[in-house]
A and B are shown apart, each in its own frame.
Chain A
Amino acid sequence: MIERRDEELSHIYREAEGPRPPQRVDDNILAASQRVAGTVRRPAVFAFSRRWGAPVAIAATVLVTSTVALMVHERQSGVDTAAPGVPRAGRAAKVSPAAPVRTDQPAKSPSTEPRAGPSQKSPPAEPRSAAPVTPSPKAAAPLDRAKPATVETALSGERRATGQPARLPAIPPGVEILRKTDEPKPAPAAAAPAAAGERARATQQAPVPDAVRTFDVQPLIRPAQAPASAPAPGANTLRESASTLQGAGAVGALTSSVAVPDAKERTPEKWLADIRKLKTEGKAIEAERDLVEFKKRYPDYILPEDLR
Protein backbone atom coordinates (compact mmCIF):
# COMPACT_ATOMS: atom_id res chain seq x y z
CA MET A 1 0.00 0.00 0.00
CA ILE A 2 1.56 3.24 -1.09
CA GLU A 3 0.31 6.41 0.45
CA ARG A 4 1.72 9.52 -1.10
CA ARG A 5 3.10 11.79 1.56
CA ASP A 6 1.75 15.29 1.74
CA GLU A 7 4.95 17.06 0.83
CA GLU A 8 3.62 20.52 1.46
CA LEU A 9 2.62 19.55 4.97
CA SER A 10 5.93 17.83 5.48
CA HIS A 11 7.84 20.99 4.52
CA ILE A 12 5.82 23.06 6.93
CA TYR A 13 6.36 20.51 9.68
CA ARG A 14 10.11 20.61 9.07
CA GLU A 15 10.06 24.35 9.52
CA ALA A 16 8.98 23.89 13.10
CA GLU A 17 11.76 24.33 15.60
CA GLY A 18 13.00 20.92 16.53
CA PRO A 19 13.36 20.34 20.24
CA ARG A 20 16.45 18.50 21.37
CA PRO A 21 17.00 16.18 24.26
CA PRO A 22 19.14 17.63 27.02
CA GLN A 23 22.82 16.85 27.23
CA ARG A 24 22.44 14.86 30.42
CA VAL A 25 19.97 12.53 28.75
CA ASP A 26 22.44 11.93 25.96
CA ASP A 27 25.20 11.31 28.45
CA ASN A 28 23.08 8.91 30.47
CA ILE A 29 22.08 6.89 27.45
CA LEU A 30 25.55 6.71 25.96
CA ALA A 31 27.14 5.90 29.28
CA ALA A 32 24.62 3.13 29.83
CA SER A 33 25.19 1.76 26.37
CA GLN A 34 28.94 1.73 26.83
CA ARG A 35 28.67 0.27 30.28
CA VAL A 36 26.50 -2.54 29.03
CA ALA A 37 28.75 -3.15 26.07
CA GLY A 38 31.69 -3.34 28.43
CA THR A 39 33.66 -0.80 26.51
CA VAL A 40 33.52 2.26 28.64
CA ARG A 41 35.66 4.88 27.00
CA ARG A 42 38.65 5.40 29.17
CA PRO A 43 40.26 8.71 29.84
CA ALA A 44 43.40 9.78 28.09
CA VAL A 45 45.60 8.39 30.84
CA PHE A 46 44.27 4.91 30.26
CA ALA A 47 44.60 5.34 26.53
CA PHE A 48 48.22 6.34 27.02
CA SER A 49 48.88 3.42 29.28
CA ARG A 50 47.15 1.07 26.88
CA ARG A 51 49.29 2.34 24.06
CA TRP A 52 52.64 2.39 25.84
CA GLY A 53 52.02 -0.18 28.54
CA ALA A 54 53.14 -3.18 26.55
CA PRO A 55 56.39 -1.65 25.20
CA VAL A 56 57.30 -0.32 28.62
CA ALA A 57 56.56 -3.66 30.22
CA ILE A 58 58.68 -5.46 27.64
CA ALA A 59 61.53 -3.01 28.09
CA ALA A 60 61.35 -3.35 31.86
CA THR A 61 61.33 -7.12 31.59
CA VAL A 62 64.35 -7.11 29.30
CA LEU A 63 66.16 -4.72 31.59
CA VAL A 64 65.45 -6.74 34.71
CA THR A 65 66.30 -10.00 33.00
CA SER A 66 69.57 -8.72 31.63
CA THR A 67 70.47 -7.20 34.96
CA VAL A 68 69.75 -10.44 36.79
CA ALA A 69 71.64 -12.42 34.17
CA LEU A 70 74.57 -10.06 34.45
CA MET A 71 74.53 -10.33 38.21
CA VAL A 72 74.34 -14.10 38.10
CA HIS A 73 77.15 -14.22 35.57
CA GLU A 74 79.25 -11.88 37.62
CA ARG A 75 78.49 -13.82 40.73
CA GLN A 76 79.31 -17.06 39.02
CA SER A 77 82.58 -15.79 37.67
CA GLY A 78 83.41 -14.31 41.04
CA VAL A 79 82.73 -17.59 42.75
CA ASP A 80 84.78 -19.49 40.22
CA THR A 81 87.68 -17.12 40.54
CA ALA A 82 87.63 -17.18 44.30
CA ALA A 83 86.80 -20.84 44.49
CA PRO A 84 90.08 -22.30 45.67
CA GLY A 85 90.35 -20.27 48.82
CA VAL A 86 86.86 -19.16 49.71
CA PRO A 87 85.27 -21.76 51.83
CA ARG A 88 81.55 -21.65 51.68
CA ALA A 89 79.07 -23.79 53.41
CA GLY A 90 77.45 -25.12 50.33
CA ARG A 91 80.38 -25.34 48.01
CA ALA A 92 82.00 -28.45 49.32
CA ALA A 93 78.84 -30.38 48.77
CA LYS A 94 78.09 -28.88 45.42
CA VAL A 95 81.46 -29.27 43.77
CA SER A 96 82.60 -32.79 43.22
CA PRO A 97 86.06 -33.62 44.49
CA ALA A 98 87.29 -34.46 41.04
CA ALA A 99 86.08 -31.24 39.54
CA PRO A 100 89.04 -29.32 38.21
CA VAL A 101 89.62 -25.78 39.19
CA ARG A 102 88.82 -23.49 36.35
CA THR A 103 91.99 -22.13 34.94
CA ASP A 104 90.55 -20.08 32.18
CA GLN A 105 89.10 -17.44 34.44
CA PRO A 106 92.30 -15.58 35.20
CA ALA A 107 93.11 -15.36 31.54
CA LYS A 108 89.65 -14.07 30.79
CA SER A 109 89.41 -11.28 33.26
CA PRO A 110 92.54 -10.10 34.94
CA SER A 111 90.56 -7.97 37.31
CA THR A 112 89.19 -11.03 39.01
CA GLU A 113 92.47 -12.85 39.28
CA PRO A 114 93.66 -11.47 42.57
CA ARG A 115 90.63 -12.82 44.30
CA ALA A 116 92.47 -16.08 44.63
CA GLY A 117 95.06 -14.27 46.67
CA PRO A 118 93.03 -12.87 49.48
CA SER A 119 91.11 -16.02 49.74
CA GLN A 120 94.28 -17.76 50.73
CA LYS A 121 95.08 -15.61 53.66
CA SER A 122 91.80 -15.90 55.48
CA PRO A 123 91.14 -19.06 57.40
CA PRO A 124 87.44 -18.67 57.73
CA ALA A 125 85.60 -21.49 59.25
CA GLU A 126 82.24 -19.82 59.33
CA PRO A 127 80.20 -19.95 56.17
CA ARG A 128 79.77 -16.63 54.52
CA SER A 129 76.55 -15.71 52.93
CA ALA A 130 77.99 -12.88 50.92
CA ALA A 131 79.20 -15.03 48.16
CA PRO A 132 80.82 -13.06 45.39
CA VAL A 133 82.48 -9.95 46.49
CA THR A 134 82.43 -7.39 43.74
CA PRO A 135 84.75 -4.83 45.11
CA SER A 136 84.49 -1.31 43.96
CA PRO A 137 87.74 0.54 43.53
CA LYS A 138 86.16 3.58 45.10
CA ALA A 139 85.56 1.79 48.34
CA ALA A 140 88.93 0.17 48.32
CA ALA A 141 90.90 3.29 47.61
CA PRO A 142 91.42 4.58 51.14
CA LEU A 143 92.56 1.21 52.36
CA ASP A 144 94.94 0.18 49.64
CA ARG A 145 96.76 3.12 48.34
CA ALA A 146 100.00 1.61 47.26
CA LYS A 147 98.88 -1.47 45.45
CA PRO A 148 97.82 -2.13 41.92
CA ALA A 149 94.20 -1.76 41.26
CA THR A 150 93.51 -5.38 40.67
CA VAL A 151 94.91 -6.36 44.00
CA GLU A 152 93.20 -3.50 45.73
CA THR A 153 89.81 -4.46 44.57
CA ALA A 154 90.18 -8.04 45.55
CA LEU A 155 91.59 -7.26 48.92
CA SER A 156 89.14 -4.60 49.76
CA GLY A 157 86.36 -6.90 48.74
CA GLU A 158 87.70 -9.58 50.98
CA ARG A 159 88.05 -7.13 53.80
CA ARG A 160 84.52 -6.00 53.41
CA ALA A 161 83.36 -9.56 53.41
CA THR A 162 85.31 -10.69 56.45
CA GLY A 163 85.36 -7.51 58.42
CA GLN A 164 89.04 -8.03 59.16
CA PRO A 165 91.40 -5.13 59.48
CA ALA A 166 93.53 -4.13 56.57
CA ARG A 167 96.39 -6.30 57.41
CA LEU A 168 97.59 -7.74 54.17
CA PRO A 169 97.27 -5.22 51.45
CA ALA A 170 100.94 -4.93 50.84
CA ILE A 171 101.34 -8.41 49.50
CA PRO A 172 100.20 -8.83 45.98
CA PRO A 173 98.31 -12.06 45.82
CA GLY A 174 100.06 -13.18 42.74
CA VAL A 175 103.35 -12.63 44.42
CA GLU A 176 102.11 -14.43 47.46
CA ILE A 177 101.23 -17.39 45.38
CA LEU A 178 104.59 -17.36 43.73
CA ARG A 179 106.28 -17.14 47.05
CA LYS A 180 104.32 -20.04 48.35
CA THR A 181 105.10 -22.13 45.38
CA ASP A 182 108.79 -21.41 45.85
CA GLU A 183 108.71 -22.19 49.51
CA PRO A 184 109.02 -25.68 50.80
CA LYS A 185 105.61 -26.72 51.78
CA PRO A 186 105.44 -27.01 55.52
CA ALA A 187 102.26 -28.96 55.61
CA PRO A 188 102.42 -31.97 53.39
CA ALA A 189 98.98 -32.97 54.35
CA ALA A 190 97.75 -29.77 52.83
CA ALA A 191 98.98 -30.72 49.43
CA ALA A 192 95.94 -32.68 48.58
CA PRO A 193 95.21 -32.19 44.93
CA ALA A 194 91.51 -31.98 45.12
CA ALA A 195 90.27 -28.49 45.70
CA ALA A 196 86.92 -29.58 46.94
CA GLY A 197 88.48 -31.66 49.63
CA GLU A 198 90.42 -28.67 50.77
CA ARG A 199 87.39 -26.54 50.87
CA ALA A 200 85.49 -29.11 52.79
CA ARG A 201 88.28 -29.38 55.30
CA ALA A 202 88.42 -25.65 55.66
CA THR A 203 84.74 -25.58 56.22
CA GLN A 204 85.00 -28.16 58.93
CA GLN A 205 87.47 -26.15 60.93
CA ALA A 206 86.25 -24.80 64.19
CA PRO A 207 85.00 -21.24 64.03
CA VAL A 208 87.64 -18.78 64.94
CA PRO A 209 86.83 -15.38 66.29
CA ASP A 210 87.84 -12.46 64.21
CA ALA A 211 90.36 -11.25 66.71
CA VAL A 212 92.09 -14.59 66.84
CA ARG A 213 91.95 -14.82 63.11
CA THR A 214 93.81 -11.58 62.84
CA PHE A 215 96.65 -13.01 64.83
CA ASP A 216 96.57 -16.12 62.79
CA VAL A 217 97.13 -14.20 59.67
CA GLN A 218 99.96 -12.12 60.93
CA PRO A 219 102.63 -14.81 60.71
CA LEU A 220 101.85 -15.14 57.08
CA ILE A 221 103.03 -11.69 56.31
CA ARG A 222 105.92 -11.88 58.68
CA PRO A 223 107.73 -14.88 57.47
CA ALA A 224 110.92 -13.68 59.01
CA GLN A 225 109.45 -13.75 62.44
CA ALA A 226 108.90 -17.43 62.65
CA PRO A 227 110.23 -18.98 59.54
CA ALA A 228 110.99 -22.29 61.07
CA SER A 229 108.19 -22.57 63.47
CA ALA A 230 105.12 -24.53 62.77
CA PRO A 231 102.74 -22.50 60.72
CA ALA A 232 99.50 -21.34 62.16
CA PRO A 233 96.30 -23.02 61.09
CA GLY A 234 95.48 -20.11 58.90
CA ALA A 235 98.80 -20.33 57.22
CA ASN A 236 98.27 -23.97 56.72
CA THR A 237 95.07 -23.25 55.01
CA LEU A 238 96.69 -20.71 52.76
CA ARG A 239 99.49 -22.96 51.82
CA GLU A 240 97.10 -25.74 51.23
CA SER A 241 95.14 -23.51 48.96
CA ALA A 242 98.27 -22.52 47.15
CA SER A 243 99.29 -26.06 46.69
CA THR A 244 95.83 -26.88 45.59
CA LEU A 245 96.01 -24.20 42.99
CA GLN A 246 99.39 -25.46 41.92
CA GLY A 247 98.15 -28.96 41.64
CA ALA A 248 95.24 -27.89 39.55
CA GLY A 249 97.35 -25.79 37.25
CA ALA A 250 95.81 -22.55 38.35
CA VAL A 251 99.03 -21.19 39.61
CA GLY A 252 100.53 -21.46 36.19
CA ALA A 253 97.76 -19.43 34.75
CA LEU A 254 97.94 -16.90 37.49
CA THR A 255 101.65 -16.65 37.17
CA SER A 256 101.48 -16.11 33.50
CA SER A 257 98.74 -13.52 33.58
CA VAL A 258 99.16 -11.53 36.75
CA ALA A 259 102.10 -12.38 38.84
CA VAL A 260 104.72 -12.23 36.18
CA PRO A 261 105.17 -8.45 36.20
CA ASP A 262 105.28 -8.41 39.98
CA ALA A 263 107.66 -11.29 40.14
CA LYS A 264 110.29 -9.16 38.54
CA GLU A 265 110.30 -7.07 41.69
CA ARG A 266 111.58 -8.27 44.94
CA THR A 267 109.08 -9.72 47.24
CA PRO A 268 108.77 -7.90 50.56
CA GLU A 269 110.23 -10.85 52.34
CA LYS A 270 113.15 -11.01 50.01
CA TRP A 271 113.58 -7.30 50.35
CA LEU A 272 113.58 -7.52 54.12
CA ALA A 273 116.00 -10.38 53.96
CA ASP A 274 118.29 -8.21 51.86
CA ILE A 275 118.02 -5.42 54.38
CA ARG A 276 118.90 -7.79 57.17
CA LYS A 277 121.79 -9.01 55.15
CA LEU A 278 123.03 -5.45 54.68
CA LYS A 279 122.71 -4.87 58.39
CA THR A 280 124.63 -7.97 59.23
CA GLU A 281 127.28 -6.97 56.73
CA GLY A 282 127.61 -3.65 58.53
CA LYS A 283 126.15 -1.53 55.74
CA ALA A 284 123.83 0.32 58.04
CA ILE A 285 123.35 3.37 55.80
CA GLU A 286 122.41 1.30 52.81
CA ALA A 287 120.22 -0.85 54.97
CA GLU A 288 118.48 2.21 56.36
CA ARG A 289 118.02 3.67 52.91
CA ASP A 290 116.66 0.39 51.68
CA LEU A 291 114.33 0.23 54.62
CA VAL A 292 113.03 3.73 53.92
CA GLU A 293 112.45 2.75 50.36
CA PHE A 294 110.72 -0.39 51.50
CA LYS A 295 108.43 1.63 53.74
CA LYS A 296 107.59 3.88 50.86
CA ARG A 297 106.86 0.92 48.69
CA TYR A 298 104.89 -0.99 51.31
CA PRO A 299 103.52 1.58 53.75
CA ASP A 300 101.06 -0.81 55.30
CA TYR A 301 103.49 -3.62 55.80
CA ILE A 302 104.11 -4.45 59.43
CA LEU A 303 107.82 -4.67 59.83
CA PRO A 304 109.45 -7.37 61.86
CA GLU A 305 110.73 -6.39 65.29
CA ASP A 306 114.36 -6.42 64.29
CA LEU A 307 113.84 -3.94 61.48
CA ARG A 308 111.65 -1.42 63.27
Chain B
Amino acid sequence: MSDLASVLPVPPYAPSVQDRGPREALHLRRMRIEASDEELMLRYGRGDARAFELLYRRYRLPLYRFMLRQVGNAATAEELFQDLWMRVVNSRGRYEARAKFASWVYAIAHNRLMDFYRGNGRASFLSHEESESVLEDLPAAEISADLRLDRKRAAERLVAALGELPDAQREAFLLQQEGEMSIEEIAAATGVGPETAKSRLRYAVAKLRASLGKES
Protein backbone atom coordinates (compact mmCIF):
# COMPACT_ATOMS: atom_id res chain seq x y z
CA MET B 1 0.00 0.00 0.00
CA SER B 2 2.72 2.41 0.93
CA ASP B 3 4.44 1.89 -2.45
CA LEU B 4 1.26 2.68 -4.27
CA ALA B 5 0.62 5.68 -2.09
CA SER B 6 4.06 7.02 -2.88
CA VAL B 7 3.42 6.66 -6.60
CA LEU B 8 0.04 8.37 -6.48
CA PRO B 9 -0.01 12.13 -6.65
CA VAL B 10 -0.83 14.13 -3.59
CA PRO B 11 -4.52 14.97 -3.69
CA PRO B 12 -5.25 18.57 -4.52
CA TYR B 13 -7.42 19.09 -1.43
CA ALA B 14 -4.57 18.41 0.92
CA PRO B 15 -2.71 21.50 2.05
CA SER B 16 0.98 21.28 1.54
CA VAL B 17 3.22 20.72 4.46
CA GLN B 18 4.67 24.17 4.03
CA ASP B 19 1.24 25.70 4.52
CA ARG B 20 0.96 24.35 8.00
CA GLY B 21 2.64 25.41 11.18
CA PRO B 22 6.17 24.11 11.71
CA ARG B 23 5.19 21.80 14.52
CA GLU B 24 2.26 20.32 12.65
CA ALA B 25 4.31 19.99 9.48
CA LEU B 26 7.01 18.13 11.36
CA HIS B 27 4.40 15.90 12.94
CA LEU B 28 2.86 15.10 9.57
CA ARG B 29 6.24 14.43 7.96
CA ARG B 30 7.18 12.08 10.74
CA MET B 31 3.84 10.28 10.51
CA ARG B 32 4.09 10.02 6.77
CA ILE B 33 7.54 8.52 6.94
CA GLU B 34 7.30 6.39 10.01
CA ALA B 35 3.74 5.55 10.86
CA SER B 36 2.12 2.47 9.44
CA ASP B 37 -1.51 2.40 8.45
CA GLU B 38 -2.39 0.51 11.57
CA GLU B 39 -0.58 2.99 13.78
CA LEU B 40 -2.34 5.86 12.10
CA MET B 41 -5.70 4.27 12.64
CA LEU B 42 -4.90 3.65 16.28
CA ARG B 43 -3.81 7.25 16.63
CA TYR B 44 -7.03 8.36 15.11
CA GLY B 45 -8.87 6.18 17.56
CA ARG B 46 -7.14 8.16 20.28
CA GLY B 47 -8.35 11.41 18.77
CA ASP B 48 -5.58 12.39 16.38
CA ALA B 49 -7.50 13.74 13.41
CA ARG B 50 -4.29 14.38 11.48
CA ALA B 51 -3.59 10.66 11.51
CA PHE B 52 -6.90 10.05 9.83
CA GLU B 53 -6.13 12.73 7.29
CA LEU B 54 -2.91 11.01 6.38
CA LEU B 55 -4.61 7.65 6.26
CA TYR B 56 -7.31 9.06 4.04
CA ARG B 57 -4.70 10.50 1.74
CA ARG B 58 -3.08 7.10 1.40
CA TYR B 59 -6.28 5.19 0.62
CA ARG B 60 -8.41 7.82 -1.02
CA LEU B 61 -7.69 7.11 -4.67
CA PRO B 62 -7.43 3.31 -4.64
CA LEU B 63 -10.60 2.92 -2.62
CA TYR B 64 -12.49 5.32 -4.82
CA ARG B 65 -11.35 3.55 -7.95
CA PHE B 66 -12.27 0.24 -6.39
CA MET B 67 -15.77 1.48 -5.71
CA LEU B 68 -16.18 3.17 -9.06
CA ARG B 69 -15.00 0.16 -11.06
CA GLN B 70 -17.28 -2.08 -9.05
CA VAL B 71 -20.51 -0.12 -9.40
CA GLY B 72 -19.73 1.64 -12.67
CA ASN B 73 -21.51 4.81 -11.70
CA ALA B 74 -19.81 7.88 -10.31
CA ALA B 75 -22.70 9.08 -8.17
CA THR B 76 -23.19 5.67 -6.61
CA ALA B 77 -19.47 5.30 -6.18
CA GLU B 78 -19.25 8.63 -4.35
CA GLU B 79 -22.08 7.62 -2.06
CA LEU B 80 -20.55 4.25 -1.29
CA PHE B 81 -17.11 5.78 -0.94
CA GLN B 82 -18.36 8.33 1.55
CA ASP B 83 -20.32 5.73 3.43
CA LEU B 84 -17.27 3.51 3.57
CA TRP B 85 -15.20 6.23 5.20
CA MET B 86 -17.97 7.03 7.60
CA ARG B 87 -17.87 3.43 8.69
CA VAL B 88 -14.14 3.74 9.19
CA VAL B 89 -14.65 6.87 11.23
CA ASN B 90 -17.33 5.27 13.34
CA SER B 91 -15.20 2.18 13.90
CA ARG B 92 -12.21 4.12 15.17
CA GLY B 93 -12.76 3.08 18.76
CA ARG B 94 -13.17 -0.61 17.95
CA TYR B 95 -10.24 -0.94 15.60
CA GLU B 96 -7.57 -3.40 16.66
CA ALA B 97 -4.39 -3.87 14.72
CA ARG B 98 -4.81 -7.62 14.32
CA ALA B 99 -4.65 -7.53 10.56
CA LYS B 100 -3.44 -5.07 8.00
CA PHE B 101 -5.44 -1.92 7.78
CA ALA B 102 -5.79 -2.48 4.04
CA SER B 103 -7.47 -5.84 4.62
CA TRP B 104 -9.74 -4.30 7.20
CA VAL B 105 -10.80 -1.33 5.12
CA TYR B 106 -11.32 -3.37 1.96
CA ALA B 107 -13.39 -5.80 3.96
CA ILE B 108 -15.59 -2.88 4.93
CA ALA B 109 -15.73 -1.87 1.28
CA HIS B 110 -16.70 -5.39 0.29
CA ASN B 111 -19.46 -5.52 2.88
CA ARG B 112 -20.77 -2.19 1.72
CA LEU B 113 -20.79 -3.43 -1.82
CA MET B 114 -22.66 -6.57 -0.79
CA ASP B 115 -25.28 -4.40 0.85
CA PHE B 116 -25.52 -2.36 -2.31
CA TYR B 117 -25.85 -5.43 -4.52
CA ARG B 118 -28.51 -6.93 -2.30
CA GLY B 119 -30.42 -3.69 -2.22
CA ASN B 120 -30.40 -3.51 -6.00
CA GLY B 121 -31.25 -7.16 -6.63
CA ARG B 122 -27.86 -7.68 -8.14
CA ALA B 123 -26.48 -11.11 -7.17
CA SER B 124 -24.09 -12.00 -9.91
CA PHE B 125 -21.37 -13.41 -7.73
CA LEU B 126 -20.31 -16.72 -9.08
CA SER B 127 -20.41 -19.69 -6.85
CA HIS B 128 -17.18 -21.45 -6.00
CA GLU B 129 -17.96 -24.46 -8.16
CA GLU B 130 -18.94 -22.31 -11.08
CA SER B 131 -15.72 -20.37 -11.06
CA GLU B 132 -13.65 -23.51 -10.73
CA SER B 133 -15.32 -25.12 -13.75
CA VAL B 134 -14.92 -22.02 -15.84
CA LEU B 135 -11.30 -21.78 -14.91
CA GLU B 136 -10.55 -25.18 -16.41
CA ASP B 137 -11.42 -24.04 -19.93
CA LEU B 138 -9.58 -20.74 -20.05
CA PRO B 139 -6.86 -20.43 -22.69
CA ALA B 140 -3.66 -18.46 -21.95
CA ALA B 141 -4.14 -15.43 -24.16
CA GLU B 142 -1.40 -13.12 -25.28
CA ILE B 143 -1.78 -9.38 -25.49
CA SER B 144 -1.71 -8.20 -29.07
CA ALA B 145 1.34 -6.42 -30.38
CA ASP B 146 -0.57 -3.27 -31.25
CA LEU B 147 -1.87 -2.89 -27.73
CA ARG B 148 1.56 -3.54 -26.31
CA LEU B 149 2.70 -0.43 -28.16
CA ASP B 150 -0.40 1.66 -27.50
CA ARG B 151 -0.59 1.49 -23.75
CA LYS B 152 -3.28 4.07 -23.46
CA ARG B 153 -5.62 2.21 -25.76
CA ALA B 154 -4.76 -0.99 -23.98
CA ALA B 155 -5.69 0.59 -20.69
CA GLU B 156 -9.03 1.73 -22.05
CA ARG B 157 -9.67 -1.74 -23.38
CA LEU B 158 -8.72 -3.24 -20.06
CA VAL B 159 -11.04 -0.99 -18.09
CA ALA B 160 -13.87 -1.78 -20.49
CA ALA B 161 -13.22 -5.50 -20.11
CA LEU B 162 -13.06 -5.09 -16.36
CA GLY B 163 -16.59 -3.76 -16.37
CA GLU B 164 -17.78 -6.90 -18.12
CA LEU B 165 -16.31 -9.25 -15.56
CA PRO B 166 -18.54 -10.84 -12.97
CA ASP B 167 -18.56 -8.82 -9.76
CA ALA B 168 -16.65 -11.36 -7.68
CA GLN B 169 -13.87 -11.73 -10.25
CA ARG B 170 -13.63 -8.03 -10.81
CA GLU B 171 -13.47 -7.52 -7.11
CA ALA B 172 -10.66 -9.99 -6.76
CA PHE B 173 -8.71 -8.28 -9.54
CA LEU B 174 -9.31 -4.81 -8.09
CA LEU B 175 -8.32 -5.93 -4.64
CA GLN B 176 -5.08 -7.20 -6.06
CA GLN B 177 -4.40 -4.11 -8.14
CA GLU B 178 -5.73 -1.31 -5.99
CA GLY B 179 -5.35 -2.88 -2.61
CA GLU B 180 -2.09 -4.69 -3.42
CA MET B 181 -3.45 -7.65 -1.55
CA SER B 182 -2.34 -11.22 -1.64
CA ILE B 183 -4.63 -14.18 -2.26
CA GLU B 184 -5.02 -14.71 1.46
CA GLU B 185 -5.84 -11.08 2.04
CA ILE B 186 -8.34 -11.10 -0.79
CA ALA B 187 -9.93 -14.18 0.66
CA ALA B 188 -10.09 -12.62 4.10
CA ALA B 189 -11.52 -9.39 2.80
CA THR B 190 -14.19 -11.07 0.73
CA GLY B 191 -15.01 -13.77 3.21
CA VAL B 192 -14.19 -16.73 1.02
CA GLY B 193 -11.58 -19.40 1.07
CA PRO B 194 -8.18 -18.80 -0.46
CA GLU B 195 -8.87 -21.26 -3.26
CA THR B 196 -11.98 -19.39 -4.25
CA ALA B 197 -10.17 -16.10 -4.16
CA LYS B 198 -7.38 -17.58 -6.23
CA SER B 199 -9.70 -19.00 -8.86
CA ARG B 200 -11.60 -15.75 -9.11
CA LEU B 201 -8.46 -13.85 -9.59
CA ARG B 202 -7.06 -16.21 -12.17
CA TYR B 203 -10.31 -16.17 -14.06
CA ALA B 204 -10.38 -12.35 -14.04
CA VAL B 205 -6.83 -12.14 -15.29
CA ALA B 206 -7.43 -14.69 -18.02
CA LYS B 207 -10.54 -12.86 -19.21
CA LEU B 208 -8.77 -9.52 -19.23
CA ARG B 209 -5.79 -10.88 -21.15
CA ALA B 210 -8.15 -12.44 -23.63
CA SER B 211 -9.86 -9.08 -24.16
CA LEU B 212 -6.49 -7.50 -24.85
CA GLY B 213 -5.41 -10.26 -27.21
CA LYS B 214 -8.25 -9.75 -29.65
CA GLU B 215 -7.98 -7.13 -32.33
CA SER B 216 -11.00 -4.91 -32.33
A residues within 8 Å of B by Cβ? 1-3, 5-6, 8-23, 25-30, 32-34, 36-39, 41, 47
Selected contact of B13 from candidates A9, A23, A34, A38, CB within 8 Å? A23
Evaluate contact between A12 and B48: CB separation under 8 angstroms: no
Give the one of A5, A9, A32 with max B CB within 10 A: A9
B residues within 8 Å of A by Cβ? 8, 11-13, 21, 44, 47-49, 52-53, 56, 60-61, 64-65, 68, 74, 78, 81-82, 85-86, 89-90, 92, 143, 147, 151-152, 154-156, 158-159, 162, 176-177, 182-184, 194, 198, 201-202, 205, 208-209, 212
Hey, which chain B residues are within 8 Å of A36, CB to CB?
89-90, 92
Evaluate contact between A33 and B89: CB separation under 8 angstroms: yes
Q: A38–B93 Cα gap in the complex (Å)?
A: 13
Evaluate contact between B183 and A1: CB separation under 8 angstroms: yes
Q: Specify the chain B residue showing the minimal Cβ separation from A33.
A: B52
Selected contact of A29 from candidates B56, B159, B183, B212, CB within 8 Å? B56
Evaluate contact between A26 and B182: CB separation under 8 angstroms: no
Evaluate contact between A9 and B209: CB separation under 8 angstroms: yes
Evaluate contact between A16 and B155: CB separation under 8 angstroms: yes
Hey, which chain A residues are within 8 Å of B48, CB to CB?
37, 39
Given contacts A16-B159, A20-B64, contact A9 B44 (CB under 8 A): no
Where chain A touches its partner, the secondary structure class is: helix
Hey, which chain B residues are within 8 Å of A21, CB to CB?
60-61, 64, 78, 81
Given contacts A29-B86, A37-B49, contact A19 B13 (CB under 8 A): no
Q: A41–B56 Cα gap in the complex (Å)?
A: 16
Hey, which chain B residues are within 8 Å of A3, CB to CB?
182-183, 198, 201-202
Evaluate contact between B47 and A39: CB separation under 8 angstroms: yes
Where chain B touches its partner, the secondary structure class is: helix
Evaluate contact between B184 and A9: CB separation under 8 angstroms: no
Smallest CB-CB A-B distances: 7 pairs: A15-B155, A16-B155, A37-B49, A34-B49, A39-B49, A29-B85, A21-B64
Evaluate contact between B89 and A10: CB separation under 8 angstroms: no
Selected contact of B61 from candidates A15, A20, A25, A39, CB within 8 Å? A20
Evaluate contact between A19 and B65: CB separation under 8 angstroms: yes
Hey, which chain A residues are within 8 Å of B56, CB to CB?
26, 29-30, 33
Selected contact of A13 from candidates B64, B78, B177, CB within 8 Å? B177
Hey, which chain B residues are within 8 Å of A34, CB to CB?
49, 52
Give the one of A14, A21, A29 with max B CB within 10 A: A21
A12-B158, A13-B158 are known; give 14 further A-B pairs, CB within 8 A: A3-B182, A9-B158, A9-B212, A12-B147, A13-B177, A15-B154, A17-B155, A20-B11, A20-B64, A21-B60, A23-B13, A30-B53, A33-B53, A47-B21
